Amino acid sequence: MPRKTSPRKAQPRKTHRRPLWRRLLRIVFLLGVGFSIPFSIYLVYLDRIVVQQFEGKRFALPAKVYARPLELYVGQKINADVLQAELKELGYKPVENVVLAGQFSRTRDQFEIYIRPFTFWDGEQQASHIQLTLNNGQVRSLKNKSELAPLNLVRLDPITIGGIYPNHGEDRELVRLRQVPQVLIDALIAVEDRRYYQHHGVDPKAILRAATTLITSERVQGGSTITQQLIKNFFLTRERTIERKVKEMLMAILLELHFSKDDILETYLNEVYFGQDRNRAIHGFGLASQFYFSRPIEHLEPHQAALLVGMLKGPAYYNPRQHPKRATERRNLVLNALADQNYISDSTYRQQVLQPLVISELPGLGQSRHPAFMQLVVRQLKRDYRETDLQSEGLRIFTTLDPYEQKVAEQQLTKNLQQLEKARSLPHSHLQGAVIIANVHDGEVKAVVGGRDSNYQGFNRALDASRQIGSLIKPAIYLTALADIEHYNLATPLDDSPFEWSEPGIEPWRPQNYDHEFHGTVPLWLALAKSYNVSAARLGTQIGVDNVMRTVANLGVEKSLPTYASSLLGTVHLTPYEITQMYHTIASGGFKTPFRAIREVTTVNGAPLNRYNLSVEQVVTPTANHLIVAGLQQVVARGTGTGVLNYIAGDIHAAGKTGTTDDLRDSWFAGFTGNRVAVVWVGNDKNEPIKLTGASGALRIWGDIMKNLSLEPLNAAVPENVDYVPISHRDGFVARDNCNNTFTLPFHTKSLPDADYCGAKTGRKVKSWFNKLFGKD
């Protein structure tokens, strides 16, 4: 039998516990692995954002709009004061010794100008140092200063008159790093990021220094690098949270892994904010240099560069226009930092801190200085370009605006409206007005004023105020008649006796003259000169209202006008712009030339995109146009427009026409010389009476404007089939060659009237004319 054995007691199992530190290490490792995976994914996500958006970052560049460049050449008519005003408007600095581009000096009629470089539509113009001498308002000598070699022509860089901005309102002038003065870069590094070229996006020393300052002195000191600031501006919001700050630091490190310091610095220089110009945000050092100093960034002096760098801390707080003392103190702190870090010498520092704070008084370059003209430019541009392209592609628009003529028109309109209100006991701001000036030779619009407040960017009366035009339509009546050489000439007798016109369904129309009198038989030119309503209405109905309105259309008015008999006395509504186009066709010899406000459009780099070429169509025969011009010259010489002679000399031979509407609600004057056509309207926005005729209101403003311009005489070429014939001062009809007290008027050679007397024998003339008109001997 088997042997019994006693049971054995179970032995306890030995366990081998890992040390605590190993367990903790394992936990940390597992947590690290668990955290690193999402963190790595997050870094990849941030890296993708940084690379894609920074590489693809394209600043939205508003279109820049320029005035016409002032061209200087021997023989050009220009006043010395006008030239100096344009130089100052451009931001050229008057100095004793001209050594830098953007400087000029003047000794009486002699100028020394260092013209800045500029890229025009036809190529790049290098900086040039010239000497110019004027004599009696003309350029007599134009030379290269260094070689004293004669120059044929030079152009000043054009004035920037505005921009076409995106909805966010940002504006900037892109600059390359090589354009930026070294002193500006040094100031930026000295103040914003001393170790910019040593760190990798984040500067631990700067962070530690900022933390220490906060703890010890309870002052907040920035620890962000230039790279971090750029990240914040480009990718992040303005909120102050730890999460956003960590994200900023990570993205800054990633940015520097992919892009060079120079790339980052150049982008920063173009991105930073420098304050507001109304609804326009000034970004980048390039535009800030223009906005505050009216000079390119390349020409900044050390104290100017220091001011701009100092403003980065608070563009509004250190705005030099609003807080000059505060801005000067901040500028000097930056200059001190430059000296402390040996970027500039002590002597340079002492010299620069003594410089006065000279800030440009001009509006910001790019701000719409002349909004009424800018509206015309934008309307013409939108025919050819999308609005998004105008707001973002940096197009360069070269316009026809003449800054001097625009300024004269703005000033004279405002001044005269105030004087007229005072003289007529009208309420303040009761009167409004508009002005258009165009070049007779090519249809270029030189000035547009949309109201008495030339800075107002709303309703533009010059382009959009459609008003009754009164007697401004009468030249179209007489031109229609004069085109019929078989029946009409300037001495054709017209009947200015009581007249009634009836049409079915319409109340009879009985026009009246302004003086409430009738003048019997008058020659055609005198009826035009004196603006007689009755004779004009009778003539218009005889030749056909439809034909008159067709003439108005031929002269350039595109809208359809009613053909009522009352339309012959200007009950039709047109804008000042349309009236100017109409009178320009007459002023230019009968050639219709659609107005141009734009000459050229180029890309941001200067490559030509679109040329706005001259378009010309002859719509009036040379003979008929010559006759109507002579008639309009008589308006100024002997008619309702004689007030013009109080402003400009008679040898200019200006032509024009007054216009007054019912109840004295509108005052017009349209006139032209050999080189300028201008229209002035005065009225009230509520269409209330203004107590002014065309002669007592608009003509005064027209004269004050034109007397300040460089005008050419209106000496139209005489067509071959036109002869000049004596006219008697006694009755305005044709006189014999040997008569005294006469003047001459043009006639077509096929319709030369007979003359065997010296005036005052109109009865036989009237009978002869009626017989000729109706085919009787």
Determine the residue type at 417: L
Q: Is 638 exposed, middle or buried (0-12, 13-18, 19+ CB in 10 A)?
A: middle
Rounded alpha-carbon distances, angstroms, from residue 281 to 91, 278, 543, 663 = 21, 8, 60, 48
Q: Which of 82, 86, 69, 711 is nearest to 437 (CA)?
A: 711
Torsion on CA atoms 140, 145, 149, 154, rounded to nearest 10 = -60
For the chain, what's the residue count? Answer: 777
Three-class SS state of 714: coil
Of 213, 187, 186, 221, the residue nearest 310 (C-alpha):
187
In one letter, which amino acid is 13? R
Report residue 571 as tokens: 């009950």
Q: How far is CA 253 from CA 239, 250, 626, in A?
A: 20, 5, 77
Query: What residue type is assigned to position 720 of the chain?
Result: E
Contact 438, 595 (CB under 8 A): yes
Tell me the torsion sign for CA atoms 638, 642, 646, 651.
negative
C-alpha distances out from residue 206 to 187, 193, 528, Å: 17, 8, 84
Instruction: Please tell me the distance from the alpha carbon of residue 398 to that of residue 414, in angstroms, as a whole number.
Output: 27
Catalytic residue among 471, 531, 567, 728: 471
Q: How far apart are CA 64 and CA 422, in angstroms?
A: 40
Pairing of strands 722-728, 138-144: unpaired
Question: CA of 433: how far to CAs of 154, 246, 462, 666, in Å?
Answer: 37, 60, 8, 10
Give Cα 547 to chain centroid, integer Å.
38
Q: Which tokens in the block code for residue 542?
A: 């005889």
Known active-site residue 471:
yes
Q: Is 192 a catalytic residue?
A: yes
**Contacts of 485 by beta carbon, 8 Å cutoff, 6+ apart:** 623, 624, 748, 750, 751
The partner residues of 273 in beta bridges, in order of sequence, read 283
Here the tokens at position 20 are 């605590």
What value, to the nearest 5°, has the Cα angle with vertex 759 and ends 755 and 763?
A: 85
191's CB contacts (< 8 A; 6+ apart) are: 309, 310, 312, 334, 337
Q: What DSSP line would sit under 224-260, residue for residue? A: --HHHHHHHHHH--S---HHHHHHHHHHHHHHHHHS-
Q: How far apart are the first and last CA of the chain?
A: 179
What does the buried/exposed string (b/e) look like for 293-317 if buried means 16 or more CB atoms within 10 Å of the residue's CB?
Answer: bbbbbbbbebbbbbbbbbbbeebee
Q: Find the catalytic residue in 86, 192, 405, 421.
A: 192
C-alpha 433/C-alpha 453 separation (Å) is 10
In this structure, how many other beta carbons lie within 10 angstroms of the beta carbon of residue 30? 10
SS3 (DSSP) at 14:
coil
Q: Give the whole-angstrom CA distance, residue 643 versus residue 647.
A: 8
Number of H helices, E strands in the chain: 23, 32
Q: 137-173 burial by CB neighbour count: b if 16+ within 10 A, else e?
A: eebeebbeeeeeeebeebbbbbbbbbbbbeeeebbbb
- 476, 543 Cβ separation under 8 angstroms: no
Which amino acid appears at position 204 of this protein? Answer: P
- Which residues contact residue 498 at a Cβ distance below 8 angstroms, ignoring those fewer than 6 apart? 510, 518, 534
Locate 485 and state its tokens.
């050489």
Residues identified as active-site: 192, 471
